[in-house]
């Protein structure tokens, strides 16, 4: 398009990209004779796309995974997943334990009808 005499702005408007993208592509073509990106340095990926899908699916199934290796964690982060740890619940005090035991002893001999009333009551109170 540029070789036919059209301006960078016209080409950018037609392709719905910014003018700077067209400018960079033209500059790259002048320097290298290509418009594709040059090969970049860096460590190659240790996992394939299929491995990544497997890792993500397993993490979604088991949210309580605790020891993720670094490369696995990176793949999960790429897919928007983070390692989660369950919230730590404070220990019960002696007073709590006594109250729970007293409640259990009071309700030890309840019948099925008494418990069904509690279940029905809970269901009607919930909005």
Cβ proximity of 43 and 54 under 8 Å: no
**What does the pLDDT profile of the chain (127 residues) look like in tens digits?**
888 888 989 989 988 989 999 899 888 888 888 877 777 778 887 788 888 888 778 777 776 655 555 567 777 778 877 766 667 777 888 999 999 999 999 989 988 888 888 777 666 665 5
CA dihedral 77, 64, 57, 76 (to 10 degrees): 10
Residue whose tokens read 């418990």: 115
pLDDT at 95: 92
pLDDT at 125: 62
pLDDT at 99: 93
Whole-angstrom Cα distance, residue 23 to residue 36? Answer: 14
Whole-angstrom Cα distance, residue 63 to residue 66? Answer: 9
Whole-angstrom Cα distance, residue 76 to residue 61? Answer: 13
Residues 6+ apart with CB under 8 A from 105: none
pLDDT tens sequence across 43-68: 887 788 888 888 778 777 776 655 55
Cβ proximity of 71 and 55 under 8 Å: no
Residues 6+ apart with CB under 8 A from 68: 59, 76, 83
Q: What is the pTM of this model?
A: 0.32
Beta strands in the chain (DSSP E): none
pLDDT at 101: 93
């Amino acid at each position: 398009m540029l070789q036919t005499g059209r301006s960078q702005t016209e080409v950018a408007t037609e392709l719905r990209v910014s003018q700077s993208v067209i400018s960079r592509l033209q500059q790259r073509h002048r320097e290298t004779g290509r418009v594709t990106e040059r090969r970049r340095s860096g460590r190659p990926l240790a996992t394939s796309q299929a491995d990544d899908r497997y890792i993500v699916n397993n993490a979604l199934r088991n949210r309580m995974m605790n020891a993720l290796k670094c490369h696995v964690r990176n793949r999960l982060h790429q897919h928007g997943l983070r390692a989660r740890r369950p919230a730590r619940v404070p220990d019960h005090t002696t007073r709590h334990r006594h109250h729970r035991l007293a409640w259990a002893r009071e309700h030890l001999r309840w019948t099925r009808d008494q418990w069904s009333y509690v279940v029905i009551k809970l269901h009607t109170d919930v909005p």
